Structure 1
Amino acid sequence: MAPTALARILRPNQSLERLVRMLQTVNGVDKVLQTYIFAQRLLVHFLQRAGPEHGETIKRIVSLVPAFNDARFILRLAGLGELPVIQGITRMENHPPQSTLSLFVRRAQLWLMFAYFPLEHYAWLAGKGAIKVDPALSSRASVLSVRCMALALGLGFYGLYEEHIALTAREKQLARQGAELDQKEKARQAAKLATDRASWAIRVVNNLCFFPIMSQMGGLVSPFLNDMHIGLLGSVASAAQLYAAWQATA
C-alpha cells in the first residue's frame, strides 16, 4: 500500500527512532530522570533570584522530584546498580590488571560500589516504611552508602589516569604506524581511538562533578557547595551521561 497523505508531514525520523530506543533502556530512563533532578536545582535557583512571583512555578517544578527520585531508587533496587558491579567484579577477577596496585585499587573501587547499593536500598526501604528499623540506623546506612560511593569515585581517578596513559600510548603508536597502514585500517583504528577517548572524557566529567557532591553529602568534607553548585555540577555530569546513553543507541 502506498504512503498516506499524512506521510508528507510525518516523515521517517532517525532521531525519533534513536530516542525511542534510548528510552526503552533502563539506563536511558535513569539518565533522563537524573538530568531533571539536578537541572531543576539550577532552574529553581534562578527563578528564586528573579522574584517571589515565581513561587508557584517553583512548587510545580519541585513537586516532581520525589517521584523521580523514587523511580530511580526502584530501578536500582531492580538490579540496575548491583548487576553491572557484579559483572565488573567477575571480569576483573578473571582478567586482572598486570599491576598489583591497579588490581588493589580496582578491587577496592568495585567492592565499595557493591556495598553502596544494599546500604542505599536499606535506607530507602526504611524511609518508605517497608521495613521497620530504628530511624537512626537507617540514617546511618544512608550516610555510609554515600561515603562508599564518594570513596569509589575518588579511587576512580587512578583508573582514569591509567586509562589516559594507555590511550596516549595508542595515539602515539597510531601516529608512528600511520604510513604503514592502509587508509581503511587507519581510519578504523582512528575511529575506535576517538570513541574510547570520548568515553574516557565522559567518565572524567562524571568523577569531577560527582566526587565533591558525594563527599559533601557523606560528611567527608565540610559543606562548601550550595544548591546552585550541586545543580550545576550534577547537571553537567548528567548531561554527559545522557549523551553517553544516546551514543550507545547509535
Structure 2
Amino acid sequence: MTSYSKPTSLAKLNDAVLGCFSAFPPSEFIDHLVRYLGTWSGSDKLFAIVEYALKLLVPLLNKRAQLQKNAGLRKVATSSTAVRFSNLASTISDSRTLWRFWGLLSIIRWMVSLERSPQPTRNLLNIERLQGWSMLGYYPLEHLSYLVSHDVVPSRSTIDLSPFLAKKRSLQLNSGTLGVWSVRCWAFYVALQFAHLREDRMLLQAKYRTLRKVGLKSADKQEMQKRWNAYWSDLVINLANFPLAIHWSTGSKLLKHDAIVSILNLIVAVVSFRSGWQATALPSSTPAQPADELVEPVSAENTTAYDV
C-alpha cells in the first residue's frame, strides 16, 4: 500500500492542476470561433471591428479627459489610454494592409473560375468581369503604396533609357497618389456592386415566383431565407462602402469628421463578420417554420430575414 500511495497522490494532483480543462465540456461556440477566425477573412473582419471601435473610443476618451481637466480633476487634457488605443488601432490598420498582399491571388483565382463556371445572366458575368479587373488595379497599387510609405521601395529612382532616348529619366513614386488611385479602382468595384445587387434581386424574385408555383418546401424556405439574408447584408455593406469609396478616392474631402468614417467602417466590419459567421456555421437540426410563412422581401424596409 505504501509503495502506491505517493504515485497515486501525485497523479491526482497532476489531474487536478494540469488536467483542469477536463472540467469544461466541448464548446460548439469555440469550435465555430476557431473555424471562422482560422480564415483570412474572419480574422480580418474581427480586427477591423477592434480597429474602428478603438478609433471611436479615442476621441471620447480625450473629450472626457478635457472635461476632467476643466473640472480640476486631472492635470493634463489628454488620455493616456486614448494614446494606447490609438497606437493599437494604427498597428492593426498597418497589419491588415500587409495581410492583404495575398488578396491578388484570390482575385486571379476568382476570375479564372468565373470563365469556367456558367453564370445566371450575361449581365452578371460582365459585371463580375469588370469587378475583377478593377481589383486587379486596386491590389497592386495598394501594395506599391504601402511599400513606398514604409521605404521598402524607394520613392525616387532613375531609369536608364539610353538605348531609346539617349538619357536617363527619374521616376518618382508618391505613396499618397498611389493610394488614391488604388481606392478609385475599389470605388469602381463598389459602384458596380449596385448593379450586381440589382441582378441578384431580380434572380431571387424570379426564383421565389418559380418556387411559389410548384409549392414551397421546408428546404426551399430555408434556402430562400439564407439568400435574402445574404442579399440584405451585401446591400448594407455596399451602402456603407459607397460614401467611403467616394471620400477616399477624392482625397478624403467628402466626410468632414473622422468619427463618420469610423462608424461606416465599423458597420461594414460588423455586418461582414456576421455574414461570415453565418456562412461558417454547421448545419442546424432545428425544425424549420412552415413553408407557407415565407414572405418575399420586396423593399428595403422589409427586413424580416436580416437583423444587424
TM-aligned CA deviation for residue 11 of structure 1: 2.1
1:70 maps onto 2:94 in alignment: yes
Is the deviation greater in 61-70 or in 7-16?
A: 7-16
TM-aligned CA deviation for residue 25 of structure 1: 1.5
Q: 1:76-95 counterparts in 2 under 5 A?
A: 76-77=100-101, 79=102, 81-95=103-117
Q: Rate the CA distance shift 1:11–1:123 in 2: closer, same or farther, 3 A.
A: same
Tell me which protein shows more helix as a share of its residues. 1
Q: Rate the CA distance shift 1:99–1:22 in 2: closer, same or farther, 3 A.
A: closer
Structure 2 segments unaligned to the other structure (5+ residues): 1-14, 69-77, 157-171, 282-308
* SS of equivalent residue, structure 2 residue 174: helix
**Count of matched residue pairs:** 239
* SS of equivalent residue, structure 1 residue 211: helix
CA contact (8 A) 1:31 1:241 kept: yes
Corresponding residue to 2:38 among 11, 24, 27: 24
Matches of 2:33 and 2:121 in 1, distance apart? 41
* SS of equivalent residue, structure 1 residue 131: coil
* SS of equivalent residue, structure 1 residue 94: coil
Matches of 2:96 and 2:148 in 1, distance apart? 16
Report the equivalent of 2:239: 208
1:148 maps onto 2:170 in alignment: no
Identity %: 28
Report the equivalent of 1:164: 201
Q: 1:168-247 counterparts in 2 under 5 A?
A: 168-178=205-215, 186-219=217-250, 222-247=253-278
Higher normalized contact order (CA 8 Å, seq sep 6+, divided by chain length): 1
CA contact (8 A) 2:148 2:173 kept: no
Report the equivalent of 2:6: none
Normalising to structure 1: TM-score of the pair?
0.86
* SS of equivalent residue, structure 2 residue 25: coil
1:130 maps onto 2:144 in alignment: no
Matches of 2:210 and 2:65 in 1, distance apart? 57
1:155-198 C-alpha deviation (Å, 9 max, x unpaired): 110000110111122222222322xx6xxxx1112111211221
Is the deviation greater in 21-30 or in 144-153?
A: 21-30
CA RMSD after TM alignment:
2.3
Report the equivalent of 2:71: none
What amino acid is aligned across from residue 30 of structure 1 in structure 2? D
Structure 1 segments unaligned to the other structure (5+ residues): none
CA contact (8 A) 1:213 1:225 kept: no
* SS of equivalent residue, structure 1 residue 130: coil
Report the equivalent of 1:107: 129
Matches of 1:177 and 1:85 in 2, distance apart? 38
Normalising to structure 2: TM-score of the pair?
0.71
Report the equivalent of 2:57: 43
TM-aligned CA deviation for residue 147 of structure 1: 0.8
1:128-148 C-alpha deviation (Å, 9 max, x unpaired): 111112375332111100111
